[in-house]
Homo-oligomer: A and B are copies of this chain.
């Protein structure tokens, strides 16, 4: 924010205003908007230089200024201010305190920098790491390792639960090794669908399209989406198993049971991944954390463990008395 803004009084004539601006031109951040203030620095209106310039010279500042201007509050975060400027196509936005006193302006060229920088942070967090805060080729090797190793280690420790979950089903795997074959396929489907959902919600939040109170609308929408997506994958998965069986008798006599297990698990895992992925940014924001930390790898880790439990539970129901 810059305190070097151009100021006018609302009772000045056009000629007075232009002459007054000319005197300020050297010292202000932009001459393209001027701000009409009263004696206590309260902001009364905004006038673009273009309006001054076009107006009949007999008019006064109060005749041409906009009293319904868009302004930002001192305590707004910079992403919100950037969005205001973008939405209203402004070249600069006035920043006021709680009593509408003008404290400074933010110009659009600063906004472009802010937008690019904040988006870089979001993108890097979505990739499962801390924001670099520096260009890739300029950051030092150990700085880079530090920014990446932290999250990678946290995700790794979380993912260790998959070894624990698999351990619980060790007997089942020993009896039906065929179960192990589909583990990566099933858990990755949950991770991928969760990654899509979380990315969509995070971006919609950053763009101000979705707010905390919309969570129930999102749950309902993602439930249907997840169900349809899960069904699509279940159909493809079933076709794959039936085809391999027809061609190479790959899955033995109980291939139908295998296919049913895989299909039901896929629907369950994709549904869970989609809902968990879409809700995670809400939970993080509710806890006062940055929703962009709900990265694709974070969601994948969360969904991997649950995916295994869903898969082996489905298997133990479907295969009971047949393969298990």
Contact = CB atoms under 8 A, between A and B. Distances in A.
B113 A209 contact: no
A153 B207 contact: no
A207 to B, nearest CB: 7
A36 interface: no
Given A91-B91, A122-B123, A297-B296, A128 B196 contact: yes
Which one of A21, A183, A214 has the highest number of Cβ atoms from chain B below 10 Å of its Cβ? A183
Given A86-B112, A170-B177, A203-B120, A225 B144 contact: yes
Interface stretch (A38-46, A67-75, A135-143): A135-143
A138 B204 CA distance: 11
A10 interface: no
Contacts of A185: 156, 159-160, 162-163
A300 to B, nearest CB: 7
Contacts of A192: 128, 152, 155-156, 297, 300-301
A230 to B, nearest CB: 10
A185 B85 CA distance: 45
Which one of A86, A112, A233 has the highest number of Cβ atoms from chain B below 10 Å of its Cβ? A112
Interface of A: 21-22, 25-26, 31-32, 49-50, 53-54, 82, 85-86, 89-91, 108-109, 111-113, 115-116, 119-120, 122-124, 126-129, 132, 135-138, 141, 144-145, 148-149, 151-153, 155-157, 159-160, 162-163, 166-167, 170, 173-174, 177-178, 180-185, 187-189, 191-193, 195-196, 198-204, 207, 209-210, 214, 217, 221, 224-225, 228-229, 232-233, 236-237, 240, 250, 295-297, 300-301, 304, 308
Contacts of A250: 167
Contacts of A217: 137
| Pairs A-B, 5 closest by C-beta atoms | A127-B199, A162-B184, A136-B204, A296-B296, A89-B109
Given A159-B184, A167-B250, 18 more contacts: A32-B49, A82-B112, A86-B113, A115-B116, A119-B119, A122-B123, A124-B203, A127-B198, A136-B201, A148-B196, A148-B225, A155-B192, A156-B189, A156-B237, A166-B182, A167-B181, A184-B308, A196-B297
A93 to B, nearest CB: 12
B188 A149 contact: no
Contacts of A180: 166, 173, 180, 183
Contact of A181 (B157, B166, B228): B166
Contacts of A225: 141, 144-145, 148
A82 B115 CA distance: 12
A192 to B, nearest CB: 4
B116 A91 contact: no
Contact of A149 (B22, B49, B159, B229): B229
Contact of A199 (B129, B162, B237, B240): B129
A238 B301 CA distance: 20
